[in-house]
Amino acid sequence: MFQKNQTDLRKDICEIGRRVWQRGYVAYNDGNISIRLDQNHVLATPTGVSKGFLSPDMLCVVDLEGRQIDGHLKVSSEILMHLTMYRERCDIGAVVHVHPPYCTAFAVAGEALDQPTLPEFVVALGKVPLAPYGAPSTPELGETVLPYVKDHDVFLLANHGALALGSDVYEAYHRMETLEQSSMIMFLARMLGRQNVIPSADLGHLESMRERMGLTFPRDCLTFPPGSSSPVRRQTEVDEAQIEAVVRRVAERLIQEMGREGGN
Ligand SMILES: [Zn+2]
């Protein structure tokens, strides 16, 4: 299986840093991104640098205990939360932590995102739990996520932001994009005065799509096959055509129901 070398993984972190900054998921020096290099080492962003202006030489290497092995800048203090994720989930190859405004607003309001409102959200993320508040830069922050980490890939952090896990950094980032886009839509729907959910009759189909894509839990922890020191990267691309078909069916059903309501 093709594995990227560390030079390319460093470029990937810089690219994702640019995307989260450009999309307004972080302000100033907020946020942190990491990639698992091997069974005991993680490549991570440094503290005190805008994610929009990272260069590959700024990144740090730490071991799973948090000892910095490489890098002239100090690693992000929130790396402790990332390391907790890598220790708990051997299927995880990357972690993205940012503060996107819409999903963070739900985290500040104290709301988990567990309503089936959008097919993409249900298939890609399932339900997103709200981890209780933990002080930034302390081991406590990672511990608040522990009760949820085996059953979810994406988490809201109360009064703080969001955390996404992935088999690689693009998957983790795309989950964060889906979370923020869906949060914005849910917020706007509420502003319009109503947040409908997908009819329960349609949820089984979305759940089976999630299952076919290997997104349900528990997952196989086949991250380090015998003789390999690199994590296996799973393919979990969401099938856009299937999602579109479900969106059409749900929309048709809602229109039919609204027609019936209007006729009464
Ligand atoms: Zn943070």
Residue 242 has pLDDT above 80, yes or no: no
What pLDDT shows up at residue 255? Answer: 75
CA of 246 to the centre of ligand 1 (A): 35
Residue 10 has pLDDT above 60, yes or no: yes
Q: Could you tell me where the DSSP H helices lie in 89-233?
A: 101-109, 119-125, 139-145, 169-191, 200-212
pLDDT tens sequence across 25-75: 999 999 999 999 998 999 999 999 999 999 999 999 999 999 999 999 999
Q: Which of 37, 98, 39 minimizes the C-alpha distance to 71?
A: 37
Told to judge if 180 belongs to the known catalytic residues of this protein, a careful annotator would answer no
CA of 230 to the centre of ligand 1 (A): 28
DSSP symbols for 206-228: HHHHHHHTT-SSSPP--SS-TT-
Q: Which of 97, 103, 84 minimizes the C-alpha distance to 146?
A: 84
CA of 236 to the centre of ligand 1 (A): 26
CA of 137 to the centre of ligand 1 (A): 8
Could you tell me the two tokens for 73? Answer: 């800048």
CA of 157 to the centre of ligand 1 (A): 9
Q: Which of 15, 65, 78, 143 is catalytic?
A: 78
Please give the share of the chain, as a percent, with pLDDT higher than 70: 88
pLDDT tens sequence across 205-224: 999 999 999 898 877 654 44
pTM of the model: 0.84
Residue 111 has pLDDT above 70, yes or no: yes
Distance CA 121, CA 179 (A): 7
* Strand-strand pairing, 68-70 and 94-98: unpaired
CA of 109 to the centre of ligand 1 (A): 17
Q: DSSP class of residue 76?
A: P
List, in order of start, the domains of the chain with CATH numbers: 6-191 (3.40.225.10)
CB neighbour class for 90 (10 Å; exposed up to 12, middle 13-18, buried from 19): middle
Mean pLDDT score of the chain: 89
Q: Tell which wins on pLDDT, 243 or 140.
A: 140
Which contacts (CB < 8 Å, 24+ apart) does range 137-141 have? 137/77, 137/78, 137/80, 138/80, 139/80, 139/84, 141/78, 141/80, 141/81
Give the SS3 label for residue 58.
Answer: helix
CA of 51 to the centre of ligand 1 (A): 12
Location of structure tokens 């096959």: 225
pLDDT tens sequence across 18-33: 999 999 999 999 999 9
